[in-house]
Structure 1
Amino acid sequence: MRRTARLLTGASLAVVAAGALAAPAYGVGTGTGASAGRLEVYPSSAAPGGQVTVNTAACGDDGTAAGDAGAVGAGRFTLAPSTHRGEAIGQFRVPPSAQQGTYEIVAECAAGGRRISGDLVVTLASDRQPVHPRGSVKTGVGGALGPDPVQTAAGVAALAVAAAGGTWLLHRRARGDGI
């Protein structure tokens, strides 16, 4: 018993140690969710007419920045301090005339003039309407209102016979008649 407890304790300590060594360290040194040296673009892929949000921690705690999405045709926008400490956030809309491709979105911090950038991928939206399923699905299970009422009736009859036979056998066994 002692040996088993030692083995389990040793194994669990090894698993914990391995997990601690393999755990990724997100946000190390920045203290925020945004990357300190780049402009994060969300969503990273958008269709023409879509709203895009950008944020960064590169401009400091009270930093603001001037953003430029001119590469995609959206023009300039402002990044202002957000509710997340140390991050600046801004938004722009991808113009309906934007062409498919990857575009560089840039921002320049108001204090210090630091320039940061991120990529936006523009994908063309499909003109097709979504297709909604209709009809039945052949699962092999069948149903009371299935496509063949004769097979449904035969299945119900077989279940009724099986239930009656099972009840009769259980009743005989309870009386002691044997099977």
Structure 2
Amino acid sequence: MRRTARLLTGTALAVAAAGLATAAPAHAEETAATGALEVSPSSVVPGERATVHTAACGASGAAAGDASAVGAGTFTLAPGGAGGESAGEFEVPPSAQPGTYEIVATCGDSGRRVTGDLVVTLTSAHAQVYPKGSVKTGVGGALGSDPVQTAAGVAALAVAAAGGTWLLHRRARGDGI
């Protein structure tokens, strides 16, 4: 009984593995045939320009681009790029929020739709941005930086500490208050 179960399990696993092995190349060929929309640079800060390329529309096919997801609106991809690619560009608006946005191009002749991702960040790879301002915690800054007030505060704390120590010492001796 166990031998039959092992035989059936092994056969099922072999069939599943063979199915996966034949399905993977078909998917890879399909991806290569449909093409994709390449966004360059793939990560931008608001206000920068992004360029898109695709070979999905063929050497003579123009395409209409749509970057309205990031707030840039529509743009045109013109044919004649390197390797029969169509290319276009758009400016990411200064009001764009950080995140990943889908950029779409629709081929004029075939109506084929290809997409690519654009990542909007607040920091550029070239420049480091440091925080500015102060944190409002409610602690500190009440007396300011006046040295006379600071000395008076330190003196008041010293008198309070000395008085507390004297009272604890009297209580420990049993003199009372």
Query: Under a length normalisation based on structure 1, what TM-score does the superposition of the two structures give?
Result: 0.50
Matched, 1:86 2:84: yes
Query: 1:62: how far off?
Result: 0.6
Aligned partner of 2:38 among 40, 45, 53: 40
Shift of 1:47: 0.3
Shift of 1:127: 4.6
- Offset of residue 128 of structure 1: 3.7
Determine if contact 1:65/1:107 at 8 Å carries over to the other structure.
yes
Q: Which residue of 2 aligns with 1:134?
A: none
Aligned residue type for 1:59? C
User: Counterpart of 1:85 in 2: which secondary structure?
Assistant: helix
Which residue pairs with 1:52 in the alignment? 50
Q: Which residue pairs with 1:124 in the alignment?
A: 122
Identity %: 63
Distance 1:85 1:113, change over 3 A: same
Deviations 1:103-129 (A, max 9, x none): 000000000100000000000136549
1:63 pairs, out of 51, 61, 64, with: 61
> 1:28-47: per-residue Cα shift (whole Å, max 9, x none)?
x9xxxx98511000000000
Q: Which runs of 5+ in 1 are unaligned?
A: 1-28, 130-179
Structure 1 moving runs of 4+ over 2 Å: 125-129
Please name the residue that 2:97 is paired with. Answer: 99
Contact 1:102 1:120 (8 Å CA) reproduced: yes
Q: For 1:90 and 1:77, locate their aligned partners in 2 and report how far apart those are by CA, in whole Å.
A: 7
The question of whether the paired residues in 2 share the 8 Å contact of 1:80 and 1:90 is answered with yes
Partner Cα distance (2:53, 2:107) in 1: 12
C-alpha distance in structure 1 between counterparts of 2:62 and 2:91, whole Å: 19
Distance 1:41 1:75 in 2: 15
CA distance in 2, matches of 1:71, 1:118: 12
In the comparison of the two structures, how many residue pairs are matched?
98
More helix by share: 2
CA RMSD between the two structures: 2.3
Take 2:75 and 2:33, find their aligned partners in 1: how far apart are those partners?
A: 20
